[in-house]
Amino acid sequence: MRFLSHMAPQPMPAVVSIATTDSGCGAGSQADLLTFAARDTYGTTVLTNLTAQNPDAVLAIEELSSEFIEAQWKAVHGFFPLKAIKTGMLFSSRVIQLVAGFLREAKLPVVVDPVMVSTSGAVLLQEAAIEALKTELLPLATLMTPNLDEAKVLLGWRPNTPAEMERAAQELVDQYHTSVLLKGGHLEDKTELVDILQIQDGRQRKFRHYRIEGVDTHGGGCTLSSAIAAELAKDHELELAVAEALAYLHQTFAQPLQVDGRNYINH
């Protein structure tokens, strides 16, 4: 008879994703949990909405009651020693205001992914909720991770070049009083991409990398923001957390999963 050797378990920091499900599992809370595990953290969830979704379409969105969302928060926050929080799709001003209360209570590092539109083009944030996002949620963030289209909604203009991205990142910091990782995946340059980290203390760092063709980008933003939250939960400084998370995201694209001839992010 063979016996497996016993190894003492390594302690893991706990992280919570406050977000929405994706029945295709490429994005949303499912992607968050896969990412937390890959980054050696213990993932928990507070679900705000359910979606019927795959990489090509969002078929339906079901919002959960305030009572049930709050019960999930109490179950998780009241039991696990959380070290960081990531927020994703929140959809309505009611949910944003509720979640803002959780963040004020927890006083933890918070990564806000200001999800507005899915990769497939579906609206994931009600227009009436944009003001709540700006005034209630973003000021509580340690870091927000908008793409260029989301930056346009937050600023009123869209950065279209790396130089404009630098200006936009600083404007976002000044306006919302949080550090910003402005993602350049939607730049017109089809080969080299740039992401700009603008930290509240004035430091800036540019991350340059090459676009990997042939991989579905669905869930990329969720994966990145979750990876950053996981690194912050390990007590990593913000710049290091972002660098580690971007390296991990690149790896998920470089070594994709293939299902029925189509390549997906390998969380």
DSSP the chain: ---PPP-PPPP--EEEEEEE--TTSSSHHHHHHHHHHHTT-EEEEEEEEEEEEETTEEEEEEEPPHHHHHHHHHHHHTTS-EEEEEE---BSHHHHHHHHHHHHHH---EEE----B-TTS-B-B-GGGHHHIIIIIGGG-SEE--BHHHHHHHHSS---SHHHHHHHHHHHHHHHSSEEEEB-TTSS-SSEEEEEEE-TTS-EEEEEEE--TTS--TTHHHHHHHHHHHHHHTT--HHHHHHHHHHHHHHHHHS-EEETTEEE---
Report the pLDDT value the prediction gives residue 132, as an integer from 0 to 100: 96
pLDDT at 216: 86
Domains identified in the chain and CATH numbers: 14-145+216-246 (3.40.1190.20)
Does the pLDDT of residue 1 top 60, yes or no? no
> Which whole number is the average pLDDT over 107-130?
89
Kindly report the pTM of this predicted structure: 0.95
Q: Which tens digit of pLDDT belongs to each residue from 167-200?
A: 999 999 999 999 999 998 877 766 678 999 999 9
Q: Among 75-84, 91-100, 191-200, 210-219, which stretch is predicted with the lowest mean pLDDT?
A: 210-219
Percent above pLDDT 90 for the chain = 79
pLDDT higher than threshold 60 for residue 72: yes
The mean pLDDT value of the chain amounts to 93
Statement: residue 211 has pLDDT above 90: no
